[in-house]
Amino acid sequence: MTMPNHKTEPVTIPSLQKKKEKNEKIVALTAYDFPTARIVDEAGIDLVLVGDSLGMVVLGYENTIPVTMEEMIHHTKPVVRATEKALVVGDMPYFSYHLSQQESILNASRFLKEGGAKAVKIEGASEKRLKLIEILVEADIPVMGHIGLTPQSIHHLGQYRVRGKAVEEAENIIEEARKLEQAGVFSVVLECIPDQVAHTITKMLKIPTIGIGAGPGCDGQIIVFHDLVGLSDGHLPKFVKSYLDLHGLILQALREYGQEVREGRFPDESHSYHLKPNVLRSLSQKKSRE
Ligand code: KIV
């Protein structure tokens, strides 16, 4: 087993491209705050996405629709501060790139200028979206595409389900991937599509594909941090693998803390500050003279 080399150079878009060419897998993960981003970076993860999944896993919204630009920038900053090596990508939230081109470009640039991210991610591949991606790339804002299940279209799609199971839908997704590459994205997220479709796209494209629920044939994989460590609420999709029950571990620690406080066992001697004996003596002498 080879261990990640923490002393190596920061991950860049060209270095991700090289990984694809050398057939090396890209490891990606989401992060939304300083302490978790620090661990993610230390673990040798290549790409950190400040995903708009923030809305559900951190802010308690029902879906990603309510997430704002201010919230995304607020969370991108600490992730960037915590990251020495991984490439940080900011996820453009719903309605931050849907109105005028000018507003979309300004919002994308905020991720780089204010947030400190190196790139942005945009869902979808409509003609209008492709045109916008071309313009962003032209303005030196690297863009990651995202097709298959696009959570910002939840009301349009009706439900979170695997996309591309029928011939026409699969063909559309393959075509979208091709157009995204042509528009200049440096990578594309393939979410919740059959593994054969993802494999076909991965073979067809020169740029790396990053899968989530898209099987092992992609150039890399991404997963939501809170799902991976067992900190997410409710039902998890089939493609999620939790490597840890952090919810259970935290709950156990909190219950222990509560019990020790209630029983007067915390804080004990070792977690308290003490006066030096001479200070204590003069204090009690003063008290007795009063
Ligand atoms: O918002 C997010 O976390 C994402 C990933 C699941 C790709 O878009």
> How is the chain split among helix, strand and coil, in percent rounded to 5?
45, 15, 40
Q: Is 29 in the pocket of ligand 1 (CB under 6 A)?
A: no
Question: Ligand 1 center to residue 4 CA distance, Å?
Answer: 24
- Three-state SS for 225? helix
Give the CA dihedral 31, 8, 42, 55, nearest 10 degrees.
0
Give the CA dihedral 143, 146, 147, 153, nearest 10 degrees.
-110
DSSP H helical ranges for the chain: 13-21, 34-42, 54-57, 69-82, 101-113, 127-138, 154-157, 167-183, 195-204, 225-228, 246-262, 277-289
Residues 79/88, Cβ–Cβ less than 8 Å: yes
Q: Is 31 in the pocket of ligand 1 (CB under 6 A)?
A: no
Whose C-alpha lies nearest to ligand 1, atom 3?
A: 51
Q: Is 57 in the pocket of ligand 1 (CB under 6 A)?
A: no
Atom of ligand 1 minimally distant from the CA of 224: 3
Please provide the average confidence, as pLDDT, over all residues in the chain.
Answer: 95
Q: Is 224 in the pocket of ligand 1 (CB under 6 A)?
A: yes
Whose C-alpha lies nearest to ligand 1, atom 5?
A: 51
Q: Is 52 in the pocket of ligand 1 (CB under 6 A)?
A: yes
Q: Are strands 119-123 and 87-91 parallel, antiparallel or unpaired?
A: parallel
Share of the chain above pLDDT 70, in %: 97
pTM of the model: 0.94
Instruction: Return the ∠ at Cα 116 (arms to 115 and 122), rounded to 5°.
Output: 70
pLDDT tens digits, 165-210 = 999 999 999 999 999 999 999 999 999 999 999 999 999 999 999 9
Atom of ligand 1 minimally distant from the CA of 51: 1
Helix-helix angle 69-82:34-42, to 10 degrees: 50
pLDDT tens digits, 262-278 = 999 999 999 999 999 99
pLDDT tens digits, 106-149 = 999 999 999 999 999 999 999 999 999 999 999 999 999 999 99
290 as an active site residue: the answer is no
Nearest to 51 by CA among 149, 120, 116, 141: 120
Q: Which of 191, 256, 260, 269 is catalytic?
A: 191
Retrieve residue 125's tokens.
Answer: 């591949």
CA 28 – CA 41 distance, rounded (Å): 10
DSSP H helical ranges for 139-166: 154-157
Which of 40, 212, 231, 241 has most ligand 1 atoms within 8 Å of its beta carbon, as the pocket-test mutant?
212
